[in-house]
Amino acid sequence: MTKERIGLFGGGFKPFTTGHFAKLANAIRENDKVYLFYGLQVPKEKEYYVTTRKDRWAKGDVKPDKRLRSIGSTGKFYTPEISEEIFNIYEEAIENKLGNIVEVESTLGSTPMRRIFDVIQEFTEDPEKYEKVTIYGDESTIKDYLQPYNRRYFKNRDGTLDLLDAGKVQLGAIAPESSKDYLDPERLSALMSASEESARDALGSYYPGASAEDISRMQAVRGTEVRSSASVRETASEAEKFLPPFLDDQQKKAVINLILGEDSPQQQSETFLRAFVRGVIKG
């Protein structure tokens, strides 16, 4: 049986940008199979209680979920409903353009990190199944994987094998000289910096006509900036530049329209058709 090299990448992606795609592009060129875990939140409203007397409580106003990201200065939020609709667009696009190597999964009811650890645990049950598993992410995310309460996931069930020490699990695109490098702040930063350089090179392969400055800009963009640009029609086209290349122009516009709070052309057509049918029925 041929052993596979597996890449794992997950995040909240609000939305998934060219910056995220740089890491995915890196994972694609370095692995036989890549699992992209796309974080989706469960809609949740928190109820706040206020005291009316010393020994009595009454339900106060329901306030917005503080986990939600704002959309520019519009006062609107990137809700779980918007996130799910955008995920559906991404999932279809990835299946059409990258489906031979990338498998995308929403993590509704779980978290991207939890799903990545599920794969690692599967590895511990059958370490001969894969040649190596590489986890991709920025430096702060990789540090989360290295927290003492998470290191246990990298050990075999009987505790005899540390997958990081054995080189079976790698954190970031660049292999360390020793797993101890992950626990040295300076060496870890150097590894993550080299991983970013590798991701920038991978991203550039999808934009052959772009300058090095443009590629660096696309890699550095953050979801906050994309949401802000997409929040008003005047700058929406700027936001489209930072949506990943596996989306076609129509799909990019559909994503922007969802952030704007406007219907896509297809949704507008469906709305018109429903109104027309209702009119015909009423005579």
pLDDT in tens, 136-159: 999 999 999 999 999 989 987 776
Model pLDDT, residue 3: 87
CB 31 within 8 A of CB 73: no
Q: Give CA torsion, residues 166, 36, 118, 124, to 10 deg.
A: -20
CATH-assigned architecture of domain 4-41+76-282: 3-Layer(aba) Sandwich (3.40)
The predicted pLDDT at position 46 comes to: 52
Task: Check residue 124 and give its pLDDT.
Answer: 85
pLDDT at 267: 45
Report the alpha-carbon distance of residue 160 to residue 50 in Å, rounded: 53
138, exposed or middle or buried, with CB in 10 Å at 0-12, 13-18, 19+?
middle
pLDDT single digits (tens) 101-127: 999 999 988 999 999 999 999 888 887
pLDDT score at 17: 98
**Whole-number percent of the chain with pLDDT over 90:** 68
Cα end-to-end distance, the chain, whole Å: 67
What is the tens place of the pLDDT at every residue in 205-222?
Answer: 999 999 999 999 999 999
Dist. CA 127–CA 111, nearest whole Å = 24
Residue boundaries of the structural domains of the chain: 4-41+76-282
Burial 161-188 (b: 16+ CB within 10 A, else e): eebbeeebbbbbbbebeebebbeeeeeb
Mean pLDDT of 264-280: 47
Q: Using CA atoms, how far apart are residues 254 and 267, in angstroms rounded to an integer? A: 9
- The predicted pLDDT at position 272 comes to 44
According to the model, what pLDDT value does residue 172 have?
97
Burial of 96 (0-12, 13-18, 19+ CB in 10 A): exposed
Tell me, what amino acid is at 143? K
- Res 162 pLDDT > 90: no
Question: Which distant-in-sequence residues (6+ apart) come within 8 Å of 58 by Cβ?
Answer: 49, 50, 51, 52
pTM: predicted TM-score of the whole model, two decimal places: 0.84
Examine the pLDDT at 180 and tell me if it is beyond 60.
Answer: yes
Angle subtended at Cα 114 by Cα 4 and Cα 109, rounded to the nearest 5 degrees: 120
Is the pLDDT reported for residue 31 higher than 50? yes
User: In the prediction, which pLDDT does 125 show?
Assistant: 85
Which letter does DSSP use for residue 5 in this model? E
pLDDT band at 59 (very low <50, low <70, confident <90, very high): low
